[in-house]
């Protein structure tokens, strides 16, 4: 249907949007270029003030923005409101820390004075996904705007109202008109946009094919990219772990965002000595989940964002079952739908599911399961756990559970991932860099490293 709000809980089309014409797109590019000349010269204190105001706008409207997210992509309302609050946090973080991150860095050389200065690259294109429609954008926008860049947002086509609302946030915060603009265009127009000389760099969060496509388009133009792509994140549990806490965190980690998160734990790699207890505990947690209308406060799992995600996930689960895996719970869409009200029958539903006894050679070996499906594997040692964890082409995040310092250090050192969390839930945090390795992408968002991705690291030598 193109660019449209389609309620994933019901399947009903709420609103359809027209794509920007070529003339309208040109107008937005011209406006971005025009405002850049002024915006890059504004003071850091002024940019910080605008970001603080953006945080206030977000918090003052968190209920409305949360409902918009839930309407467009289906996450439970409480999680959507928390996402707005986290978006406000990243604005405040860069408002408070940006001047320090961007300060000149002196260097001792044979010059009278030498230092490194960080200056904005210019107009940055952000191609963003639907699963965290506010957070993904703000974690790019806050550091990019603080550094003096201007932003153009090509958001996912199923969250157009979120995309327009984010532009409105920055407008209400007082940023110059054109400093941050939403582009309602389809994916097919990205390559031509990247080829425009007025775009200096691009960032994408999304699938591997989308990342490869953007990187190729930018490569032809010799333009900088940052990519945050998929993950098959391992969650390793050893016998020394606090098992009760590990199980509770495992359920939370897998059901985050209805299971649609790149950094959600997906493969639960459990030592055989505690595997049965872990599986029973996780099954009980999944059984207690409330699936339904995500606008209701008691609901903990909503629909998947699009029908195609349901189709792909069902194919992956059925392939595993056909090859010998066992469903400890879930896996039956028809049974779940039979329990839902008639008004929700047209929605994109998938039951919380746990697969065990998964043989080699199934999609669980290499593919990302983007929904509420936990894959449980038993291992005999930490050595086997790390080998299995590293056996996929992706490397975004990893979680390890052990009270043994030697085991902890081994996981920190040997797990192939952009982030390793010991005895905790893998999550993004403005204070820490975020990103992956291998086919999970390259570059970093957040932290000091994130604000330096889209700057000219200029060497200055004065005699």
Q: Which residues, in sequence order, are bridge partners of residue 329?
A: 354
Cα dihedral 25, 31, 36, 39, rounded to 10, equals -130
Rounded Cα–Cα distance for residues 175 and 241 (Å): 49
Rounded Cα–Cα distance for residues 307 and 318 (Å): 17
Q: Are 275 and 378 in contact (CB under 8 A)?
A: yes
Cα dihedral 134, 140, 141, 144, rounded to 10, equals 180
Q: Can you give the three-state secondary structure of 290-302, one letter per residue?
A: CECCCCCCCCCEC
Q: Are 366 and 230 in contact (CB under 8 A)?
A: no
Residues 6 or more apart whose Cβ sits within 8 Å of residue 179: 32, 35, 39, 145, 150, 151, 170
Q: What is the chain's alpha carbon radius of gyration, rounded to the nearest angstrom?
A: 23
| Helix-then-strand count for the chain, H and E | 15, 20
Host H or E run for residue 72: helix 62-73
Q: How far is CA 134 from CA 160, 181, 264, 432, 447, in A?
A: 11, 14, 18, 19, 18
Rounded Cα–Cα distance for residues 248 and 42 (Å): 47
| DSSP conformation class of 359 | P
Quick one: tokens of 157? 């086509």
Helices (H), 323-419: 333-338, 382-389, 405-414
Q: Are 352 and 301 in contact (CB under 8 A)?
A: yes
Query: What residues act catalytically?
Result: 228, 262
Q: Are 152 and 203 in contact (CB under 8 A)?
A: no
Q: What is the largest CA-CA distance in the chain?
A: 78
Q: HSE-up of 197 (CA within 13 Å, CB side)?
A: 0
Closest CA to 347 of 40, 92, 11: 11
Quick one: tokens of 360? 């080699």
Strands 394-395 vs 437-438: parallel, antiparallel or unpaired: antiparallel
């Amino acid at each position: 249907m193109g660019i449209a709000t389609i309620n994933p809980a019901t399947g009903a089309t709420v609103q359809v949007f027209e794509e920007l014409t070529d003339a309208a797109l040109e107008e937005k590019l011209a406006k971005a270029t025009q405002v850049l000349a002024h915006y890059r010269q504004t003071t850091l204190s002024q940019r910080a003030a605008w970001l603080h105001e953006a945080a206030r706008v977000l918090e003052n409207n968190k209920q409305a923005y949360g409902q918009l997210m839930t309407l467009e992509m289906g996450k439970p309302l409480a999680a959507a409101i928390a996402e707005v609050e986290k978006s406000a946090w990243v604005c405040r973080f860069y408002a408070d820390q940006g001047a320090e991150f961007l300060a000149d860095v002196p260097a001792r050389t044979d010059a009278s004075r030498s230092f490194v200065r960080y200056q904005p690259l210019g107009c940055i294109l952000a191609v963003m996904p639907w699963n965290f429609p506010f957070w993904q954008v703000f974690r790019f926008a806050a550091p990019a705007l603080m550094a003096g860049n201007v932003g153009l947002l090509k958001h996912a086509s199923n969250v157009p109202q979120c995309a327009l609302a984010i532009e409105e946030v920055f407008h209400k915060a007082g940023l110059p008109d054109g400093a941050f603009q939403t582009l309602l265009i389809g994916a097919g127009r990205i390559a031509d946009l990247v080829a425009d000389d007025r775009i200096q760099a691009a960032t994408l969060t999304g699938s591997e094919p989308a990342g490869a496509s953007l990187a190729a388009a930018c490569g032809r133009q010799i333009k900088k990219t940052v990519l945050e792509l998929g993950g098959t994140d391992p969650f390793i549990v050893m016998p020394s772990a606090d098992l009760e806490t590990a199980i509770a965190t495992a359920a939370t980690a897998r059901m985050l965002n209805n299971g649609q998160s790149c950094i959600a734990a997906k493969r639960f790699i459990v030592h055989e000595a505690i595997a049965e207890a872990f599986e029973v505990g996780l099954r009980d947690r999944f059984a207690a989940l409330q699936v339904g209308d995500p606008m209701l406060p008691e609901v903990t799992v909503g629909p998947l964002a699009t029908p195609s995600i349901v189709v792909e996930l069902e194919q992956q689960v059925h392939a595993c079952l056909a090859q010998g895996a066992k469903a400890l719970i879930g896996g039956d869409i028809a049974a779940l739908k039979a329990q839902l009200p008639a008004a929700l029958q047209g929605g994109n539903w998938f039951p919380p599911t746990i697969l065990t006894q998964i043989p080699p050679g199934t999609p669980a070996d290499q593919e990302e399961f983007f929904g509420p499906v936990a894959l449980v594997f038993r291992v005999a040692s930490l050595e086997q756990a790390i080998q299995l964890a590293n056996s996929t082409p992706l490397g975004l995040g990893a979680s390890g559970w052990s009270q043994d310092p030697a085991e902890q250090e081994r996981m920190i050192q040997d797990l192939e991932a952009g982030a390793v969390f010991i005895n905790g839930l893998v999550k993004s945090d403005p204070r820490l860099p975020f990103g992956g390795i291998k086919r999970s992408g390259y570059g970093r968002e957040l932290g000091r490293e994130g604000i330096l991705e889209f700057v000219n690291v200029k060497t200055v030598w004065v005699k």
